[in-house]
Chains A and B, each alone.
Chain A
């Protein structure tokens, strides 16, 4: 019994210590970009690596999710004679929830894991150490651009996801099931509030993006410098950032609905 308590205590202390270390890392990175002239191209490279390279999976998933939601929604709405409300149904569920959350989950799997593996390997092969000895701070040169790259990419990816998903719903609802295009769009326009729905969704995606790259960078930077260590770190990135996304989504939704 007392052993269990001790183990619980140790686990608690370890978790807190890890959280503290991650917090310090974030603090040391956020405001430490190299000057604008050097920092800008580095951040753009990361927007490419984390954002542009994730486009394909985001677009394809967005399209299918939009189509599936439209199909499911239509069959339910039609029972109540409310098929005209398909536009609002899709637009609201996508901008408020599916867009930010699914984008974040895909982003964690596609970009987060890549970031962790890359940083972990740079550490294991002493690339980060030799950078330090060349008087170049890896936190500035390697870590910070990746953080900002993710911060910028995530909301852009979410916007693209939303757009494609709504277009997918249009294809299914209007082109396939024969709803009236005018009604589809105008009902959507009247019921979606730009601030409440679209902006709140984007706020979520910004938060998710930041948390995911933060986790990915932390896991990579503190990975055990071995093959198994990097493999574990990559797995942890995907698991932790998915859980963090879903947990934070609940918190943010509660805050937003609570009229925050």
Chain B
């Protein structure tokens, strides 16, 4: 079995703040790999690095065997046609309606007839339960609906690699269940490789084949969902069981509270 994405020794910082401090991750082909971690650890940043929207400080990222940050613009765009990404905020085009949003990549990259595009788009929308919403504008959608449209759009070209940034947050239990199944189906039936970024522990552990847990710029644990559930290390227990106190800080780095309140600098 081959790895679709290989990240080795990744270092990255933002405004002098270290986000990744030597991270190694491999994403095996055809599997669902989850990346979990507390808010603000850099999960979204990781996806942006894989998509080459950000440049790493050190280390390299191979996607389909190519060092994605060394590619020419043309080669990069060619590779991105095989990637899909669901943004945390959705990122729907506000000047296009739901149908046209999903059709966008098909119109840009294929020479399919309008009838074909229509069928494909309606199939994708049916998949996320929003075929009836095809004529709505993004401003008329709820947050959860917008996210599902964005998901339909992200898989419009049937990419090989699909990256989901928090696909489950903001969904009610019913659509959550449907989405979990959908992600599994897309992965298995269409042979996609999926990366899921999430802090929704139970749901994520239920669909992932392999899990990485990050905190403080490092991988603090990895393994199959079962192994994660049984992991005894204090850091992992704290994250998986959701305990407020422990080695993983809930707070963004700051000076002591009493000093801050008293205005001592």
**B residues less than 8 Å from A137 (CB atoms):** 73, 77
| A227 interface residue per 8 A CB criterion | no
Once bound together, how far apart are the Cα atoms of A196 and B105, in whole Å?
49
Which residues of A in the span 103-142 have a Cβ within 8 Å of any Cβ on B?
Answer: 121-122, 125-127, 129-137, 141
* CB closest chain-A residue, reference B51: A133
Checking A127, A135, A136, A141 against B91 with a beta-carbon cut-off of 8 angstroms, the contacting residue is A127
Known contacts A134-B80, A135-B78, A135-B80; A129/B109 CB under 8 A? no
Known contacts A125-B94, A127-B94; A133/B89 CB under 8 A? no
**A residues less than 8 Å from B51 (CB atoms):** 132-133
Once bound together, how far apart are the Cα atoms of A49 and B91, in whole Å?
23
Once bound together, how far apart are the Cα atoms of A129 and B88, in whole Å?
11
Instruction: Give the Cβ gap from A60 to chain B, nearest Cβ, in Å.
Output: 28
Known contacts A125-B94, A127-B93, A129-B53; A134/B87 CB under 8 A? no
**A residues less than 8 Å from B48 (CB atoms):** 129
* CB closest chain-A residue, reference B76: A135
Known contacts A127-B92, A127-B94; A133/B85 CB under 8 A? yes
* CB closest chain-B residue, reference A128: B91
**B residues less than 8 Å from A141 (CB atoms):** 108
Give the interface size class of chain A: 10 to 19
Once bound together, how far apart are the Cα atoms of A219 and B145, in whole Å?
32
Known contacts A126-B87, A129-B53, A129-B87; A134/B105 CB under 8 A? yes
Checking A121, A122, A132 against B80 with a beta-carbon cut-off of 8 angstroms, the contacting residue is A132
**A residues less than 8 Å from B93 (CB atoms):** 127, 131
Which residues of A in the span 125-177 have a Cβ within 8 Å of any Cβ on B?
Answer: 125-127, 129-137, 141
Instruction: Give the Cβ gap from B86 to chain A, nearest Cβ, in Å.
Output: 9
Once bound together, how far apart are the Cα atoms of A121 and B94, in whole Å?
10
| B81 interface residue per 8 A CB criterion | yes
* CB closest chain-A residue, reference B104: A134
* CB closest chain-A residue, reference B157: A134
Give the interface size class of chain B: 20 to 34
Known contacts A126-B87, A129-B53, A129-B87; A136/B92 CB under 8 A? no
Checking A121, A122, A126, A135 against B77 with a beta-carbon cut-off of 8 angstroms, the contacting residue is A135
Once bound together, how far apart are the Cα atoms of A126 and B93, in whole Å?
9
Cβ-defined contact, A130 with B80, below 8 A:
no
Once bound together, how far apart are the Cα atoms of A130 and B102, in whole Å?
12
**B residues less than 8 Å from A125 (CB atoms):** 89, 91, 94
Instruction: Give the Cβ gap from A214 to chain B, nearest Cβ, in Å.
Output: 21
Which residues of B in the span 194-232 have a Cβ within 8 Å of any Cβ on A?
Answer: none
Checking B77, B85, B108, B157 against A130 with a beta-carbon cut-off of 8 angstroms, the contacting residue is B85
**A residues less than 8 Å from B61 (CB atoms):** none
Known contacts A132-B53, A132-B80; A126/B108 CB under 8 A? no
Once bound together, how far apart are the Cα atoms of A204 and B34, in whole Å?
58
Instruction: Give the Cβ gap from B142 to chain A, nearest Cβ, in Å.
Output: 16
Once bound together, how far apart are the Cα atoms of A122 and B91, in whole Å?
9
Once bound together, how far apart are the Cα atoms of A132 and B81, in whole Å?
10
Once bound together, how far apart are the Cα atoms of A130 and B48, in whole Å?
11
Cβ-defined contact, A135 with B81, below 8 A:
yes
| B35 interface residue per 8 A CB criterion | no
**A residues less than 8 Å from B84 (CB atoms):** 133-134
* CB closest chain-B residue, reference A121: B94
* CB closest chain-A residue, reference B47: A133
**A residues less than 8 Å from B91 (CB atoms):** 125-127, 129-130
| B46 interface residue per 8 A CB criterion | no
Instruction: Give the Cβ gap from B190 to chain A, nearest Cβ, in Å.
Output: 18
| B83 interface residue per 8 A CB criterion | yes
The 5 tightest CB contacts between A and B, nearest first, are A130-B91, A126-B91, A135-B80, A133-B85, A135-B81
Q: List 30 A-B contacts (CB under 8 A).
A: A121-B94, A125-B89, A125-B94, A127-B91, A127-B94, A129-B48, A129-B87, A130-B87, A130-B91, A130-B92, A130-B153, A133-B51, A133-B53, A133-B80, A133-B83, A133-B84, A133-B85, A133-B87, A134-B80, A134-B104, A134-B108, A134-B153, A135-B81, A135-B105, A135-B108, A135-B109, A136-B104, A136-B105, A136-B108, A137-B77
14 additional A-B residue pairs with CB within 8 Å, beyond A126-B91, A133-B85, A136-B104? A121-B94, A126-B87, A129-B87, A130-B87, A130-B92, A132-B80, A133-B51, A134-B84, A135-B81, A135-B83, A135-B105, A135-B109, A136-B105, A141-B108
